[in-house]
């Protein structure tokens, strides 16, 4: 059995916004092939960590290494090309574009294509476009969205919009997929099928998952390890059982017993 390598390694990560320290000397690792969960009370800095990893914010100090390479402070699109994709807490779709076009956009960005040829509409370019259309369709189909391919993204029901965002993220062919509260606003049934979807995605697309969640049933069910944050710093990390029993965690977070967001 080969040793799973460390995909993402965050060390001493700190982020200040003016006088506020949102992330405080935060360190953790993500093992390849795992589904790692980050939990913590609201305002603990979880989404800020995501934003730092994906290049939306520049770290104040600390390092973020992906596959050995330092990516802290790089541009978001550069980091995407390295193989990290994400979804957002408040869904950010290309609202007025169809589902197909939402997924097609990242696929197109990955294509090497001559500008002149594209402007003239050469047959080779048309062929490439058709191939990408097919690829987009199959990606939608893999997430059960192919029926909605020509629907405008904003017309989709909430749950499907979340799935579409995941599909779009997968179109960038990532090695690491960051999901920011994917189960937000879902009922227990939807959360359950989301858990299955996440496991399926990991299998089918060979991608490591890192997710932020408040739905404890989802996190405890599929994530291992679990990283707990509070006030921007690492509180605990370990298996679901270990975290559940950790008195610090219980005190800071689980003890509040807020069942659902």
Site residues, other proteins (CB under 8 A): 17, 47, 51, 54-57, 75-77, 80-81, 85-86, 88, 92-98, 101, 104-106, 108-111, 113, 115, 118-121, 125, 129, 150-152, 154-155, 168-169, 171-172
CA distance 177 to 27: 19
Q: How far is the CB of 22 from other proteins (least distance, A)?
A: 10
Please state the closest distance from residue 104 (CB atom) to other proteins, in A. Answer: 7
Which residue, 9 or 98, is less far from other proteins as judged by CB?
98
With respect to other proteins, which residue has the nearer C-beta, 1 or 116? 116
Q: Report, in Å, the least distance between residue 189 CB and other proteins.
A: 26
CB atoms within 10 A of CB 82: 15
Q: Which is nearer to other proteins, 102 or 246 (CB)?
A: 102
- Note whether 213 and 39 are within 8 A (CB): yes
Q: In whole angstroms, how close is the CB of 150 to other proteins at the nearest point?
A: 4
Beta strands in the chain (DSSP E): 6-17, 20-31, 35-39, 61-66, 69-70, 84-86, 176-180, 208-212, 226-230, 233-238
Cα(39)–Cα(46) distance, rounded to whole angstroms? 7
Instruction: Find out whether 106 and 171 touch, Cβ atoms under 8 Å.
Output: yes
Interatomic CA distance for residues 191 and 220, integer angstroms: 12
Q: Which one, 125 or 142, has the nearer CB to other proteins?
A: 125
Helix segments in 22-114, DSSP class H: 46-53, 76-82, 99-109
> Shortest approach of other proteins to residue 3 CB, angstroms?
31
- Give dist(CA 98, CA 83) in Å, integer: 25
Nearest to other proteins of 115, 247 (CB atom): 115
- Whose Cβ is closer to other proteins: residue 18's or residue 247's? 18
Least Å from the CB of residue 18 to other proteins: 9
């Amino acid at each position: 059995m080969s040793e799973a390598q460390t995909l993402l390694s965050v060390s001493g990560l700190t982020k200040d916004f003016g006088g506020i320290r949102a992330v405080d000397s935060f360190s953790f690792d993500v093992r390849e092939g795992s589904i790692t969960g980050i939990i913590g009370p609201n305002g603990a800095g979880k989404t800020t960590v995501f934003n730092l990893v994906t290049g939306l914010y520049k770290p104040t100090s600390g390092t973020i290494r992906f596959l050995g390479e330092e990516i802290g402070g790089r541009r978001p699109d550069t980091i995407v090309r390295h193989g990290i994709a994400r979804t957002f807490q408040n869904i950010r779709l290309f609202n007025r574009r169809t589902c197909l076009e939402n997924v097609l956009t990242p696929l197109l960005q990955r294509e090497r294509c001559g500008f002149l040829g594209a402007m003239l509409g050469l047959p080779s370019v048309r062929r490439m476009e058709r191939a990408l259309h097919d690829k987009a369709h199959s990606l939608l189909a893999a997430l059960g969205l192919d029926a909605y391919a020509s629907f405008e993204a904003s017309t989709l029901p909430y749950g499907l919009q979340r799935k579409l965002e995941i599909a779009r993220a997968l179109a960038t062919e990532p090695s690491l997929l960051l999901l920011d509260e994917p189960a937000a606003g879902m009922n227990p049934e939807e959360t359950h099928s989301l858990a299955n979807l996440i496991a399926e995605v990991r299998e089918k697309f060979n991608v490591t998952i890192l997710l932020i969640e408040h739905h404890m049933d989802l996190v405890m069910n599929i994530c291992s390890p679990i990283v707990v944050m509070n006030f921007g710093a690492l509180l605990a990390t370990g298996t679901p059982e270990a975290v559940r029993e950790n008195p610090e965690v219980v005190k800071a977070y689980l003890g509040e017993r807020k069942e659902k967001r």
